[in-house]
Amino acid sequence: MEGAGPSLGERAVDGIEAHGPAVSARRRAAPGHAATRGGVPVMTWVATIAHRRAVDRVRSARACADREHADAVRDRVRPFDEVAEQVEVRQDSEQVRRCMRGLTELQRQAVTLAHYRGLTYREVAEVLRVPLPTVKTRMRDGLIRLRDCMGVTT
C-alpha cells in the first residue's frame, strides 16, 4: 500500500533517531535557565528544538538509505550469457566473410585495407597504386554491397 505512511519498522527507527535530539535539547534547558527564553516558555522552546533536530536526523538517515539503495540498483550486474554472445559474434563474423566474398576483388582489397588494416583512403590508394577518387568509388560501392548483403537498413 503506497501512501499509507511509514511502516512499523520505519516508525521504530525514526523513534530511535528522534530520541537523541530530544535528550540533547532537554539538557540545554537544564535547571538554572530562565523560565522563558526570548518570551517563549522554556518547554515550548525545548520541544521546538528537539523536534527540529529529530526531523533533521531522520531525514539524514533516510537520505543515506536512499543513496545506498540507488547505488545498489545502479551497481547491480545484469545477467550475461557468454555462450549466446559468442554464438552471435561467430554468426556475424561468418556473415561478413560471406558478404566480403560477394565483392569484386578490387572492392574487397580496398575495404580490407581501410577497415581491417586501418589505412586511410589516401594510404589505400598508395598501396594499390590507383588514384584516390578510384579508391573512394570502390569503397563506396563495396560498402553499399556489404550493407545490402548484411540486411542493414538506412
- What single string gives the DSSP state of each residue in 18-69? HHHHHHHHHHHT-BTB-SEETTEEHHHHHHHHHHHHHHHHHHHHHHHHHHHH
pLDDT in tens, 6-27: 554 455 455 555 556 555 655 5
CATH for 82-150 (3.40.190.10, 3.40.630.30, 1.20.120.160, 1.10.10.10): 1.10.10.10
Confidence of residue 71 (pLDDT cuts 50, 70, 90): confident
> Global pTM?
0.45
Residues of the chain with CATH 1.10.10.10: 82-150
Which residues make Cβ contacts (< 8 Å) with residue 18, sequence separation at least 6? 50, 54, 57, 58
Q: Give the DSSP H or E segment for 147.
A: helix 132-150
Q: Grid coordinates in use for 43?
A: 518547554
